[in-house]
Amino acid sequence: MISTNASIARVPTAILISGRGSNMLALAKAAQSPDYPAEIKLVISNNPEAEGLQKAADMGITVIPLDHTAFKSRLSFDRELHKHLKANQIQMICCAGYMRILSSWFVGQWPGRIINIHPSLLPKYKGLNTHQRALEAGDKEHGCTVHYVNEELDGGDIILQSKFNILPNDTKETLEKRVLEREHALYVKALEKILRNIECS
């Protein structure tokens, strides 16, 4: 049961996106409730054309387009990203359709403060093309995972998962749609779970 105490401490949170931002929207809408433990202060995209930037701006969230192609290296980009996060006093980072691998340096600056949502039941199917891979393997179940980000791709500790049965007529397109619907609810639940237990400095 979620507390109705509106005076709870809310954790300044940033969301990293690369595209349409549907999971970002789910988190931002949840955070409109005063008793949700995250305050979405910032949305950053490595793609300046990302649809999600305008959606976030329309909700009154500060947005920063940070074109990764303008940087000479992954590390130089991540240092700039880190600078913006610190300048906005961010304490928690949610990757939501963020299509870049974070550098070891960046992950080391934010231990236990970066989470990601992935469209498979990790540790199965790290990386891309998860729905097709699940079908080709003949899996009976599929779903999504919210996990901590560490230096290993999709390798951090699992926070929560949502799973469902794969139907005989499922395709990669139907699995993508079914997973995405579950992602929105799962990410909101997972972020709330960890923030109610975290001690932010």
Task: Write out the E strands in the chain.
Answer: 11-17, 38-45, 62-65, 92-95, 114-118, 141-148, 158-165
Cα-based angle 27, 32, 36 (whole degrees, multiple of 5): 75
- Note the CATH architecture for domain 11-195: 3-Layer(aba) Sandwich (3.40)
Q: Is there a catalytic annotation at residue 118? A: yes
Summarised one tens digit per residue, pLDDT across range 71-98 is: 999 999 999 999 999 999 999 999 999 9
Candidates 118, 131, 142, 147; catalytic one: 118
Domain ranges of the chain: 11-195
Contact (CB, 8 A) for 21 and 43: yes
* Two structure tokens written together for 160: 């929560």
Summarised one tens digit per residue, pLDDT across range 45-66 is: 999 999 999 999 999 999 999 9
Q: What is the pTM of this model?
A: 0.93
Is 90 exceeded by the pLDDT of residue 200?
no
At residue 139, the 3 state secondary structure works out as coil
* Two structure tokens written together for 53: 């930037």
> What distance in Å separates the CA atoms of residue 129 and residue 4, rounded to the nearest whole number?
40
